[in-house]
């Protein structure tokens, strides 16, 4: 009983503003030294999935650069391995509009991977999850599709893209883009089905001009009674980076030890591209409080409640609070930076003051000088 994995790397790109201007959603930096894809890909590898395909649309050079030879995930194997699935691979004449059309370009991968089941996953959900356990649950259920979802009291009364209502574990309703209630389950963008069912679904939907996986397949066919749904409730920590505000909020949540402990579990390590950087240097004038700071940095100023990526320089006299500073950025002396997301290789010139808000952080594009 083998399962392949498919990752949608470009879905929801338009919700992340400047951070996906030159990269896929899957390659958005997160947590100081990781990318979005590291979490779902590591979960797949830790669950014994050896054949993984990542469907791309555009701006996937950064994704290729990050994944490299896949050594860190042990997917550079002769049996199985990792496959980047670009657009137009199967003779399409236009870029896909939704997941179903995207899957039609991955048919060669799924039909040749030698697996019985397939896991479909977005790259925007951050968690530490055992897919092998869920596959067993799916097979035992005898249902056509397993929907992986969770309950989150913090998200009650907030609109969510995919919501499941169940009674005693049995799915009774599926809703899209609606406000959640206390008894609702929120979809995690993860689904398991048999390879045969997926091929049947793709062929049928594409022939009828349908392309939205959740709307045209899951919701419609469940309401029509033509497919059965199994619900798997995930009870661990889930962070959804589906917009710039949630990305900022979830980055700040990582500063909580309990959240980090669940996301970066010893039983399911999260792998990423290895870089042999020197240790971070903390100058005599530096003050650091409640931060995640990667290696290779030079910290001489005051840093508080921040996520700092590799090779960031913060000069003496600079104050940086409640911010996300991505790789290679330089903050010169006497700057005052608060509620800011600075992309790669940004330079803050001397004495700059830039202050956003928790619900509206200031976004600085890659390579800009402020």
Closest CA to 366 of 323, 325, 321: 325
Residue 279's alpha-carbon distances to 107, 151, 282, 293, 296, in angstroms, are 45, 40, 10, 10, 5
| Structure confidence at residue 11 (pLDDT) | 76
Q: How far apart are CA 41 and CA 51, in angstroms?
A: 11
218-256 b/e with 16+ CB inside 10 Å = b? Answer: bbbbbeeeebebbbbebeebbbbbbebebbbbbbbbbee
Grade residue 91 by pLDDT with cuts at 50, 70 and 90.
Answer: low
pLDDT per residue over 99-125, tens digit each? 998 898 888 898 888 899 999 999 999
Q: How many other C-beta atoms lie within 10 A of the C-beta of residue 313?
A: 19
- Alpha-carbon distance of 57 to 82, in angstroms, equals 17
When pLDDT is cut at 50, 70 and 90, the band that residue 235 belongs to is very high
Q: Is 261 a residue whose pLDDT tops 90?
A: yes
pLDDT at res. 260: 95
Taking the CA atoms of residue 303, residue 307, residue 309 and residue 314 in that order, the dihedral angle to the nearest 10 degrees is: -10
Check residue 201 and give its pLDDT.
95
Question: pLDDT tens digits for 202-214?
Answer: 999 988 888 899 9
**C-alpha to C-alpha distance for 62 and 58, rounded to whole angstroms:** 10
Q: Residue 90's pLDDT is what?
A: 55
Instruction: Look at residue 214 in the predicted model and tell me its pLDDT.
Output: 92
Task: Assess whether pLDDT exceeds 80 at residue 274.
Answer: yes
- The 10s digit of each residue's pLDDT in 136-191 is 999 999 999 999 999 887 776 666 788 888 887 889 999 888 887 778 899 999 99
| Stretch 338-348: mean pLDDT | 97
- Residue 227: band (very low, low, confident or very high) from pLDDT cuts 50, 70, 90: very high
Mean pLDDT of 344-360: 96
Q: What's the CA dihedral at 138, 143, 144, 148 to 10 degrees? A: -50
Q: Are strands 336-338 and 353-355 parallel, antiparallel or unpaired?
A: parallel
For range 334-339, the mean pLDDT: 97
Q: How far is CA 236 from CA 131, 161, 239, 303, 331, in A?
A: 13, 20, 10, 30, 36
pTM of the model: 0.94
Q: What is the pLDDT of residues 17-45, one digit of tens each?
A: 789 888 999 999 999 999 999 999 999 99
Once rounded to an integer, what is the mean pLDDT over residues 342-369? 96
């Amino acid at each position: 009983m083998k399962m392949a994995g498919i990752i949608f790397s470009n879905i929801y790109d338009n919700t992340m503003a400047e951070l996906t201007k030159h990269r896929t959603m899957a390659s958005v930096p997160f947590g100081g030294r990781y990318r979005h894809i590291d979490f779902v890909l590591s979960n797949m590898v830790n669950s014994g999935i050896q054949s993984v395909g990542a469907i791309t649309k555009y701006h996937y050079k950064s994704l290729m650069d990050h994944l490299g030879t896949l050594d860190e995930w042990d997917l550079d194997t002769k049996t199985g391995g990792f496959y980047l699935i670009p657009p137009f691979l199967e003779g399409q004449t236009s870029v896909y509009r939704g997941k179903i059309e995207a899957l039609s370009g991955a048919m060669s991968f799924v039909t040749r991977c030698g697996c019985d089941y397939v896991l479909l996953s977005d790259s925007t959900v951050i968690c530490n999850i055992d897919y092998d356990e869920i596959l067993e649950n799916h097979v035992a259920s005898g249902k056509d599709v397993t929907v992986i979802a969770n309950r989150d009291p913090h998200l009650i009364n907030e609109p969510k893209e995919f919501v499941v209502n169940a009674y005693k574990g049995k799915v009774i309703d599926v809703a899209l883009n609606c406000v959640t209630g206390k008894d609702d389950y929120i979809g995690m963008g993860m689904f398991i089905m048999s390879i045969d069912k997926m091929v049947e679904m793709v062929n049928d939907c594409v022939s009828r001009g349908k392309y939205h996986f959740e709307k045209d397949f899951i919701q419609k066919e469940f309401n029509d009674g033509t497919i059965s749904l199994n619900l798997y409730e995930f009870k661990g920590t889930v962070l959804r980076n589906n917009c710039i505000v949630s990305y900022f909020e979830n980055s700040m949540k990582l500063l909580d030890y309990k959240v980090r402990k669940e996301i970066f579990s010893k039983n399911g390590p999260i792998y990423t591209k290895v870089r042999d950087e020197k240790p971070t240097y903390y100058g005599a004038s530096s003050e650091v409080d409640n931060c995640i700071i990667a290696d290779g940095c030079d910290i001489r100023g005051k840093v508080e409640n921040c996520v700092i990526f590799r090779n960031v320089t913060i000069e003496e006299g600079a104050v940086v609070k409640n911010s996300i500073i991505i790789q290679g950025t330089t903050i010169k002396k006497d700057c005052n930076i608060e509620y800011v997301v600075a992309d790669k290789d940004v330079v803050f010139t001397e004495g700059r003051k830039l202050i956003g808000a928790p619900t509206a952080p200031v976004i600085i594009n890659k390579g800009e000088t402020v």
